[in-house]
A and B are shown apart, each in its own frame.
Chain A
Amino acid sequence: MREQGISSGLVAAPSIRIRRIRRLPVVGETRVKMGDWVDANVTVASASLPGKLHPVAASMQLGVSPCELQGALRVKEEEAVTKGQVLAEIHRFFGLSKAEVVSPVDGTVLSISPITGQMVIAEADTRMDLPAYLPGTVVAADADGTVEIEAVVSLIQGVFGVGGECCGRLIQVDAWPENEADFRGMNGAETILFSKTPLTYGVMTAMKRHHIAGAVSGSVSGGDLMRFAGRTLNPACTGNEGIGLCIVLTEGFGRLPMAERTFDLLSRISGQSVSVNGATQVRAGVIRPEIIGPPVGDISENDPVVVSRSLAVGDGVRIVRGSLFGKFGRIQSIPAAIQTIGSGAKSLVYEVDILSEGQWTIPRANVEPSDGG
């Protein structure tokens, strides 16, 4: 009987057509139009990010009511002001005494409340330019700064990432650089390293110090990662950590080996420009971290992209939990009845023949479809 289970594997495709939506955090301006070809570093949209707001309790500081404040104002809404400039002042005792309220920053008077007498001074807006992130064709472009780009790429999804986006040249290293000499010749800001070897706290710290843009590994210890980030991280949702290094893990936490298939694909695009995004969201609206590079070979509609599919006897699977994590095997049988597994609990299982390990009973929930390694 053909198993009807659904297994949500991660993508590792040498050549696949993808689309990515590029969206500003605020309403902005689109800089490209449909049909345009863009490189990864081309600005596709721009916006002014609102400057920091500085509330000033003007009425309270002057000791007047909000109504009385109106007569004491020396500026008006939307007027530019400088730090220390008088915003409002009153004179008392026939001019012998003066009270004034000054601006805490350079900025613009955003609002003067007639209800509370509070003024809000806004610092100057900062400009944000949104890059394309991947080279491709613009297939949709709203006027307010939302752009969709399509491209044929190689795509590797990770299981977890931190540190946002980066672009650069992908370089394979056998051992992670840690000493000064190891970094010689690397242009950190444009370098993304990958290795089979798990990351460590020392390695991540060294890469950050040398401004390496990104690192792709099979795994890292959760404790090391949190120590590096300087705070506890919730792996269910990441992307804006500002930790100085974009990290993508292809397997998870601990000392888990990178899948051969993943390493092989990364090796084939090594030396070329890639885009990496470490953002991860495990809940609805799932986002997985990714490495996007130039396509390898021709795109094929039957390209065995490992996303999800029904599994049957003979299909390849990868174990993603427990002592056999990362092992590849082939399904020998699919028992219909629930079985007792190693924990003593009951589960639907596959009987899997694992290379060099023999036949094992594996819970169906603990495998991902795989075409090898």
Chain B
Amino acid sequence: MNPKDIRSVVVTDCGSTTTKALLIEKVDGVFRQTARGDAPTTVEEPHLDITVGVQAAIRNIEAMCGRPLLDDSGELIRPFQAGKGVDIYLSTSSAGGGLQIAVAGVVRKLSTKAAERAALGAGAIVSQIIACDDDMPLHAQIEALRSARPDMMLIAGGTDGGAFFPVVEIAEILAAAAPRTRLGKGFQLPVIFAGNKEAAASVREALPSDTPVFVEDNVMGTVDTENLSPARERVHRLFLEHVMKQAPGFANLAALTDTPVMPTPSAAADMLSLCYEARRENTLLVDIGGATTDVFSMVEGVLTRTVSANLGMSYSAARVLIEAGVERIKRGLPFEVDDDRLTNLVMNKTVRPTTIPDSVEELLLEQGLAREALRLALMHHRLFAGDVRATSGMDAFRRAGGSNGFSVMGIDRIIGSGGVISHAPSPAHAVMLLLDGFLPEGITRLVRDVVFMMPHLGLLSRVHKEAALSVFDRDCIEELGVVVAPSGQARWGKPCLRYRVMETGRPVQEGTLLMGEIHRVTLAPGSEARLVLMPSRGFDVGAGKAETLEKMIPGAPLGIIFDGRGRPLVRPPKAIGRQAVRGWFDTLGIPVHTEAAR
């Protein structure tokens, strides 16, 4: 269909937990999101068909907008005519689960570690590691590999022109072990080889002839450099294809859509690229879903994407608890909670992933988990947004920023997306999640995707860019507030920043931010102010240490949030720990009473 003729579109995103449908229509000459509907994703018995949830979500849209979109047999009415149906239907998907990868290399701390990092950076769970120099006997490692039943293998080892025989031996062992995948017979275990390029042909020969083998650049071509991107991208591509196509009913969905079904993260990345084209702002986008957390950064025109397949708010909730630990989660809460209570809540959420918190206490506990998922996801993203360089010596590595180094100081805007952020009860809740999860530095605008539609719009942009941007500006994003966070540390209670907020027609607001404090200054949406920042010695807000910075900033519901908790974070003294956290919640206006509402 000619984009000029499009008047009405339904776009769905089939997530791990929820299928979300949007109705986008031309209203008074501009495209707006006019209705939306959710339903549980139906990849489970008895339905085992993703399109059942799609249909339910679209039925909910019908109920909202009061006009028929599906006919009596449940088919989408196309084209839009006489107030019924839509012109086109598009869908993204990330339903189906995560990727488990086994990694093998020659030296545990070198090539194997590099391969592990490549796999993690692509968002996989590393289910088994095999190394020739591991303490565990090789036969035990092989047995563990057989039990692990990975979805793919990544083999590394040998610098280019270096070790040859050990690398081929690994392939021979793999061939002998013949590990089976989770997906059972009929699905061959793909093998990615990213080791000594001179061994590639022999590795291929050592593996069974029906094994899909992908040869990528060596993750460690020389002993002092790593090149993870090619292997990581291959893992990532296979991951997306694997996740998508294993969702029950995927073929049915593909038959319904007017364009190919797109992986959710790819669609979100497309929208981010489109936004950068329009505004030239360095942006960090996070999409925290039920099974995965995706982080995208668009910095100076370079897009980097990491998918943390083991961090999420429903299926992966328990993994967040395991990785972060109970103590870290409790540390960020404004009230005391029993370890068991927290553990049970998270594990119950994992086994009943579609339930939602219906009390303040449970909400804040889940948001505490979300903060840790964000923190860990950003850690993964930081690790892989740039290259890692070794100093001399076999076991010492030093991370070098270089032209690809990643720093939150350079980020102008953070967009939060995903149910726990988008559906947080208030802008203040969403701010606290992004603030604690990402610890922005300098001056950063916090924004959320209120109806979780970045993936939808990214997909729509492939068909109609103008429509996607129109809906993004008018209906998608909600400005939350501007965070000013000086980087640096000092003793608790010491000054770290003086500030002045000058809004036309209003008295100047001034203040001194002490270490450990959060201040909030009102600056209403639609207004703007000149901000003057004077960091204390040792602190930097973006212009250099102790250098004054002036900037015009827009208003938002939470106004300006001055975060003086230090970067890196300075923990409050033990005696006032919980009280300090409670104070931050109070400053942002987040209720923390724990009485359940009727």
Chain A residues with CB under 8 Å of chain B are: 1, 4-8, 23, 25-27, 50, 52-55, 57, 59-60, 66, 110-111, 113, 115-118, 120, 122, 159-160, 221-223, 226, 232-236, 240, 252-254, 280, 282-286, 307-308, 320-323, 336, 340-347, 360-363, 365-366
Contacts and interface: CB of A to CB of B under 8 A. Distances in A.
Per DSSP, are chain A's interface residues mostly helix, strand or loop, or mixed?
A: loop
A371 B429 CA distance: 38
A307 B316 contact: no
A282 B350 contact: yes
B452 interface: no
A53 B139 contact: yes
A240 B359 CA distance: 36
Contacts of B185: 27
Contacts of A343: 356-360, 362-363, 425
Contacts of B176: 53, 110-111, 120, 122
Contact of B354 (A8, A223, A240): A8
B149 to A, nearest CB: 9
A233 to B, nearest CB: 8
Contact of A8 (B40, B140, B184): B40
A312 B359 CA distance: 25
B177 A252 contact: no
A26 B339 CA distance: 42
A159 B352 contact: yes
Given A5-B56, A252-B348, A336 B358 contact: no
B168 interface: yes
B560 interface: no
Contact of A116 (B169, B340, B347): B169
A59 B172 CA distance: 15
B100 to A, nearest CB: 10
Given A6-B39, A283-B16, A284-B246, A254 B348 contact: yes
Contacts of A232: 322
Interface in B133-166: 138-140, 142-143, 146-147, 165
A159 B355 CA distance: 13
Contacts of B316: 236
Interface string B191-223: 000000000001001100000000000000000
B506 interface: no
B379 interface: no
B64 to A, nearest CB: 9
A283 B424 contact: no
A1 B169 CA distance: 66
Given A284-B96, A342-B598, A365-B355, 18 more contacts: A7-B40, A60-B165, A118-B165, A221-B340, A234-B322, A253-B351, A284-B248, A285-B97, A307-B45, A321-B357, A321-B362, A322-B357, A322-B359, A342-B358, A343-B356, A345-B357, A345-B424, A361-B598
B24 interface: no
A9 to B, nearest CB: 10
Contacts of B39: 5-6
B69 interface: no
Most buried by A among B205, B322, B355: B355
A240 B596 contact: no
Given A235-B350, A284-B247, A344 B168 contact: no
A115 B596 contact: no
Contact of A53 (B40, B177, B291): B177
Contacts of A6: 39-40, 42, 47, 52-53, 56
B358 A282 contact: no
B60 to A, nearest CB: 7
A125 B206 CA distance: 23
A345 B359 contact: no
B304 interface: no
Given A282-B350, A344-B591, A253 B344 contact: yes
Contacts of A233: 318
A55 B138 CA distance: 7
Contacts, number: 214
A100 to B, nearest CB: 20
A365 B354 contact: yes
A282 B44 CA distance: 9
Contacts of B598: 342, 360-361
B594 to A, nearest CB: 10
B173 interface: yes
A252 B363 CA distance: 19
B264 to A, nearest CB: 14
A366 B348 contact: no
Contacts of B362: 321-322, 343
Q: Which of A233, A254, A321 has the most CB of B within 10 A?
A: A321
A35 B341 CA distance: 51
Interface string B22-55: 0000000000000000011011111100001100
B108 interface: no
Contacts of A346: 423, 425
Given A8-B44, A115-B202, A307-B46, A320 B139 contact: no
Given A342-B360, A361-B598, A53 B173 contact: yes
Interface in B55-78: 56, 59-60, 63
B255 interface: no
Contact of B363 (A55, A240, A345): A345
Interface in B406-432: 423-426, 429
Nearest to A4: B59
B597 interface: yes
A321 B351 CA distance: 11
Nearest to A25: B180
Contacts of A285: 43, 97, 246, 248
Contacts of B356: 321, 341, 343, 345, 347, 363, 365-366
B172 A222 contact: no
B324 to A, nearest CB: 12
Contacts of A8: 40, 44, 354
Contacts of B202: 115
A115 B146 CA distance: 24
A118 B167 CA distance: 12
Nearest to A344: B425
B63 A1 contact: yes
A4 B597 CA distance: 27
B343 interface: yes
A306 B246 CA distance: 26
Contacts of A283: 16, 43, 96-98, 291, 315
B233 to A, nearest CB: 24
Contacts of A111: 172, 176
Given A236-B319, A283-B291, A252 B343 contact: no
A253 B347 contact: yes
A345 B206 CA distance: 57
Given A6-B56, A122-B176, A234 B319 contact: yes
Nearest to B100: A237
Nearest to B145: A53
A267 to B, nearest CB: 24
